[in-house]
Amino acid sequence: DLGTTYSCVGIYKNGRVEIIPNDQGNRITPSYVAFTDDERLIGEAAKNQATVNPTQTLFDVKRLIGRRFKDSTVQKDIKLLPFRIVEKNGKPMISVSVKGEDKVMAPEEVSSMVLTKMKETAENYLGKEVKHAVITVPAYFNDAQRQSTKDAGTISGMNVLRIINEPTAAAIAYGLDKKTEKNILVYDLGGGTFDVSLLTIDNGVFEVVATNGDTHLGGEDFDQ
């Protein structure tokens, strides 16, 4: 689960989803990447130094992924985020200083660093290499946003088996696929996105009947 503010990783075994704690013992990891004079930080370490290194600490990158630079939401974010966002080939790119040199990175590249951290968390828990993954996205993500998320997974060194909707993933995690045929409404309010999806479940097969939401509305907006 590559989230706007937090990410988590789980494995499906013995008929259930088990969320894996990170090296700090937490089941969620901040979706933060930071660059200092001599190292790259990801997760808690990056978030903890954000106030003293604001222009070099990257977060809320999911709000940029798969979007065009001229999008009104991107223009709004540029005014709010402390790090520098520039345009390249019509896309929003992130400009940081890495070991004294200016570097421009795509949102997919930054997101891949968070996914690499989640991959390492799973590998440390399982004691073996993780090569394949399923990544969740908001149900209301468009094709470009979905493809960019998949690209981030590929950059992190994983074979992305499938991109699935977050409400569907939540239903699976809660074991709702084990129940008899039914209709369920899943409300998913995250740090940066909001989804409501109507799902039908029959013999363990999920079908999204309807979905609505806002890919730029979440807890971060409430905090503003």
Is 166 catalytic? The answer is yes
Q: Annotated catalytic residue: which of 47, 62, 91, 119?
A: 62
Which position among 108, 109, 188, 220 bears the catalytic label? 188
Judge whether 134 and 160 are in contact, CB under 8 Å. Answer: yes
Which residue, 39, 41, 20, is CA-closest to 30?
41
Active-site residue, 62 included: yes
Listing DSSP states for 38-92 in one string gives S-EEETHHHHHTGGGSGGGEE--GGGTTT--TT-HHHHHHHHH-SSEEEEETTEE
Catalytic: 87? no
Q: Residue 111: in which H helix or E strand, if any?
A: helix 107-126
44: Cα within 13 Å, side-chain hemisphere: 10
Residue type, 13: K
Q: Has 1 been annotated as catalytic? A: yes
Question: From the candidates 77, 108, 109, 166, which is the catalytic residue?
Answer: 166
Instruction: Give, in order, the Cα–Cα distances in Å from 46 to each of 13, 31, 51, 94.
Output: 31, 9, 10, 16
Active-site residue, selected from the candidate residues 1, 109, 151, 220: 1
How many angstroms separate the CA atoms of 191 and 34, rounded? 19
Cβ-count burial 146-158 (b if 16+ within 10 Å, e if not): bebbbbbbebbeb
- Residues involved in catalysis: 1, 62, 166, 188
